[in-house]
Amino acid sequence: MANQSLLDNQLHIIGETKFKEFSVINNFWTKQHDFIKEWNEVYNTMNKVLRKETDLIEATFYNNSVGFVPEDGEVIISALSYINNSTQMFASHVSELFSGVLDSLDMKFKEIEKEFKSAGYSQKSKQGDIVNEKIITLYHSLSTTTSLTITKMFTDMLDNYYKYFGMGITFIEESDKFKRMKETINKRITDEKLKSQPQTVTYANVPISAILKEENRTTRDLPRVIENIHMCLMKNGLNTKGIFRESTATANVIQEIYMRMSVTNFLELPPDVTAAVYKKFLRELPNHIFNQSQTMELAERMTTIQNTGESSIELMKNAVDQLPEELKTLFIHLLRLCYKIAQNEKINSMGSKNLSVCLTPSVFSISEGENGQYALPSLLNLLTNYINHFNELFPRYADPINQQKVPRISMVGGRTPQRSTASTETNKSIPQQTHGNSNKPHQEVLSQNTSPSISIKKPIPQHPKVDVEQHKTSSPVIVQRKASSTSLLPTQKKTTLTRQTINPRIMKKSTTETNDDGSELQEILSKRRKAMDY
């Protein structure tokens, strides 16, 4: 009896333990039903949300709404549709997987639950009769099955995840449009520096001095945005047809850009639009570069100069010197830009006069009425001269490559010829020199000879022959006296040789064939003097 009692006690303990374990397992799998139900609801909701977002983007991008790029919209819509379809398929497969496993386990749970209940075990009364072999066997089978099933079920779920979202990786990697969109947006972020946007400064209707102060710049600097505009136009606008005269943007668009100049990336705008915004900025300054009194004075003086035929260079220099430093800086840089544009007139159809017509109202303060109309032609002419003579007026700002070579002036007032070759300057005039009180020119021409010695063409008879055998060379040269020499006297010992190519046309005859009276040389020199006078 004692042994039977001990056995019954053990079976009671086993029964209670197994029922508790069964309750835990049963509770877990019951909640799996709840999980898969919510899973389906969530993915159905997400599917609806993605479809709604796709429709919104499609309507927005394809209708060319402001702020959206249709090409980007095509990529985004394609990607969202792919995400929606792949997640829907993933959710559906997971739902089918879980439902199949749960349905097969439900039968086993019901069978063992029925055996526990017949033995007196329930959630309310956890102490039942002695468990039998069937209950122990069923429970063991159930626990083994569930331990395998839970792992297998989630392994299959992760396999599905890898399958469908791995396809997403392939979609991204093989989409050229997505790659281009990604590269473009990264470049835009870099260019616009969205991560460190500079402090905005008001430009509309604000004096240059106030803008420079706000940006901590000196009066010899341009405002930051104006500097950027100049760089953009120098880079992209010099060949733009009708620059400063025509614009592809409407007045409203130009006004809008003008109101947000400090945050605008002008590299993204067409050059003609950038120029139009710049012109509006100049026109809307509280005080133009030249105020009204300066404008009227310049117009009057320019009219007088035009009537008398005098040079306007001094007037132009003095007018710029009288400007405030910040306006002087702005005006000089504007002229430099116009000068560069005018150099490409054949391409952009914008010469200095056309530019003056476009910019004069923005540079000068022209009053309304008859006075303004009277002053306008003189001001147009003045600004045209400023552009044409930029290198002469402002050599410090001129490009070295564009500066014209100024002929060297000799000590006696004549132009010293530049060294050259016969192949490039065959028609260059031979300069002449005067000797003392004599008005007759005198030059000694050495013939081009292949022999080491130099044969001398006979000079004008009234002057003695100069021996230059000591200056042996195979190149043709012209013998010129130093400025200190007033005449060719026998007592003079020093001569200076200046090399210059001789026109081949005058070297047809050897100097040995020159007439004794020197008439051929006189004829040549006479032609040279006429050419120089011309």
Instruction: Indicate whether 439 pLDDT > 60.
Output: no
The helix (run of H) or strand (run of E) holding residue 298 is: helix 292-308
pLDDT at 530: 58
Instruction: Read off the tokens for 506.
Output: 């005058």
Element (H, E) at 191: helix 176-192
Structure tokens at 312: 């306007």
Task: Yes or no: say if 305 and 381 are a contact pair by the CB < 8 Å rule.
Answer: no
Query: Does the structure show a pLDDT above 60 at 471?
Result: no
User: What is the distance between the alpha carbons of residues 314 and 515, in angstroms, rounded to a whole number?
Assistant: 53
What contacts 140, CB < 8 A, 6 or more positions away?
A: none
Structure tokens at 159: 């396999």
Looking at 263-291, list the stretches that DSSP marks H as alpha helix, in order from N- to C-terminal side. Answer: 271-283
Instruction: Record the tokens describing residue 31, joined without a space.
Output: 């909640």
Confidence class for position 495, pLDDT limits 50, 70, 90: very low
Helix (H), strand (E), coil (C) string for 15-51:
HHHHHHHHHHHHHHHHHHHHHHHHHHHHHHHHHHHHH
Measure the CA–CA gap between 359 and 347, rounded to whole angstroms: 20
3-state secondary structure of 411: coil
- The answer to whether the predicted template modeling score (pTM) of the entire model surpasses 0.75 is no
Range in 156-160, 201-205, 210-214 with the lowest mean pLDDT: 156-160
Q: Which residues pair with 499 in a beta bridge?
A: 477
Would you state the pLDDT for residue 409? Answer: 33
For the sheet containing 477-480, what is the strand order?
Answer: 444-445, 477-480, 496-499
pLDDT tens digits for range 380-417 = 999 999 999 999 999 988 876 554 443 333 333 333 34
Give the residue carrying structure tokens 């829907």.
88
| pLDDT recorded at residue 435 | 41
CB contact at 8 A, 446 and 476: yes
Across the chain, which distance is largest between two alpha carbons, in Å?
169
- Gap between the Cα atoms of 268 and 236, Å rounded: 11
pLDDT of residue 443: 39
Whether pLDDT at 12 is above 70: no
Q: What percent of the chain has pLDDT over 90?
A: 32
Nearest to residue 482, comparing CAs of 407, 406, 414, 408? 414
Q: What is the pLDDT of residue 58?
A: 81
Q: What is the pLDDT of residue 417?
A: 40
Q: What angle do CA 170, 172, 173 make, to 5 degrees?
A: 65
Q: Residues 77, 61: contact at Cβ < 8 Å?
A: yes
Indicate the residue type of 440.
Answer: K
Q: Identify the residue with better confidence: 511 or 254.
A: 254
Residues near 309 by beta carbon (within 8 Å), at least 6 away in sequence: none
Cβ burial, residue 88 (10 Å; 0-12/13-18/19+): middle
Task: Please write the tens of the pLDDT for every residue from 347-360.
Answer: 999 999 999 999 99
pLDDT reading at 287 higher than 60: yes
Give whole-number Cα distances, 475 to 289, 449, 450, in Å: 57, 8, 9
**Structural domains of the chain in order of their starting residue, each with its CATH number:** 1-189 (1.20.1270), 208-397 (1.10.555.10)
d(CA 332, CA 320): 9
Q: What is the pLDDT of residues 311-347, one digit of tens each?
A: 889 999 999 999 999 999 999 999 999 999 999 999 9
**Most confident by average pLDDT, 201-205, 370-374, 436-440:** 201-205
CA neighbor of 225 nearest in space, from 256, 269, 249, 261: 261
CB 433 within 8 A of CB 480: yes
Task: Give the pLDDT confidence of 72-99 residue by residue, as tens digits.
Answer: 888 888 888 888 888 888 888 888 888 8
Exposed, middle or buried by CB within 10 Å (0-12, 13-18, 19+), for 22? Answer: buried
Which tokens in the block code for residue 185? Answer: 């947006």
Q: How many residues does the chain have?
A: 534
Separation between Cα atoms, residue 225 and residue 217, nearest integer Å: 12
